């Protein structure tokens, strides 16, 4: 039997955003190498996919202010972590995104 890699796709609902965290720095500015236990989780990531927007009371959808491939900043404890095909991703609400980095 041959093994095939299953690739699942996740589409966030409503005003949710799927984000992949960027890699944390291995060294401090002074050149000290940090062990995994001392590293903070990065608060920066790349948007993988977005939902179709928040449903408003009048039945229309509010367009999302972020799009796929945007680099964003979010708080340390925002969202819910998921593992998809061995990759750790984060699902968070659009209101948990603090800024888009250019």
Interval 5-59: pLDDT, tens: 557 788 899 999 999 998 766 666 777 776 666 666 778 999 999 999 999 999 9
- Look at the block and give the residue holding tokens 């800024």: 99
Q: What's domain 16-101's architecture?
A: Roll (2.30)
**Domain spans of the chain, in order of start:** 16-101
> Which of 31-40, 83-92, 93-102 has the lowest average pLDDT?
31-40
Q: Which residues contact 18 (CB under 8 A, 6 or more apart)?
A: 10, 12, 47, 48, 49, 50, 89, 90, 91
At residue 65, does pLDDT exceed 80? yes
């Amino acid at each position: 039997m041959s093994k095939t890699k299953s690739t699942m796709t996740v589409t966030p609902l409503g005003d949710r955003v799927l984000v992949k965290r960027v890699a944390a720095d291995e060294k401090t500015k002074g050149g000290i190498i940090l062990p995994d236990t001392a590293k903070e989780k990065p608060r920066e990531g790349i948007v993988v996919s977005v939902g179709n927007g928040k449903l408003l009371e009048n039945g229309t959808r509010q367009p999302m202010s972020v799009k796929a491939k945007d680099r964003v900043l979010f708080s340390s404890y925002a969202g819910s972590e998921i593992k998809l095909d061995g990759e750790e991703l984060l699902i968070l609400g659009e209101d948990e995104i603090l800024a888009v980095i250019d």
